[in-house]
Structure 1
Amino acid sequence: MKQDDVLYCEALLRKVGQRLFAEFAQEPACTSKQAMNERFHALNPQAEELLRHGLAERFPAYRWSDAEFDASLQKQPEYSTPYWICDAIDGAVYFLQGMPMWAVSLCLVRDGQTAVSFVYDPCRDEMFTAIARQGAFFEWQQN
């Protein structure tokens, strides 16, 4: 993956993460399982769609995995072509309970191996990026 592609993905995760953070900061913590379920199903698909659309614009040939919650599909590569795996609200229970311990996570799988991974923590504005055979990187914004 080229450096400008990495920067594009990081910017996209920041955009989605900051949108989620605005929701996180505005809404009070959920106090019941039903409220958690309703809020999750209202926010997660929106965030996932923003990521999916943004990635499809830049990487139209890459597929999208819907196997996030299906462990049986995660035991081996899902596709023979490159594909994205996403957890739009990684740590959703914490998000829904008002705890700042959640992130937006994205991974590109190519040839059955992780090619690049991103984890963005909007609560701390921290970006973690790992690129196969190139290393792992951490970036934060100082206020």
Structure 2
Amino acid sequence: MSEALLWQLIRKNNSRTLCSRNPRTARTYEKGSLRNLISKTDSGFCNITVVNVSANEDGLPVLSLKNRKPEARRNPDKMWRTITLSGGVRKALARTDKLLTSYAPSKKKDALRKVSAIYKAYARKNKGVDHTKFIATE
């Protein structure tokens, strides 16, 4: 199926959307949506070139790339290729930049932002900052 046809089928009926009364604040949490926006360019289901950045259980970023081969796209086990980015922020950003050279500049920019944000949260976690407790300042 083409990307346009898939988008027409899933744009309003998608189980991964968080609907709200205001259409501007509606979000999606599907795999491959870097900005969590409901749009054709950000959809992980209907695009062929898709990037996903998430954190693993240790807090390190994991870069997932959608396989471009048609036979692999039909198999859910082989659909995504995952790469764990470790070794520090600069090394992870450089590796992400190198892996995404053939992708659109906007996707590359969003992926780099998300990797940086995950490393920032990882550093705060290792410093002992607990976000579950609220401490009032006087």
Give the TM-score range, shorter chain: under 0.3
TM-score (norm 1): 0.26
Structure number, greater radius of gyration? 2
Whose strand fraction is larger, Structure 1's or Structure 2's? 1
TM-score (norm 2): 0.27
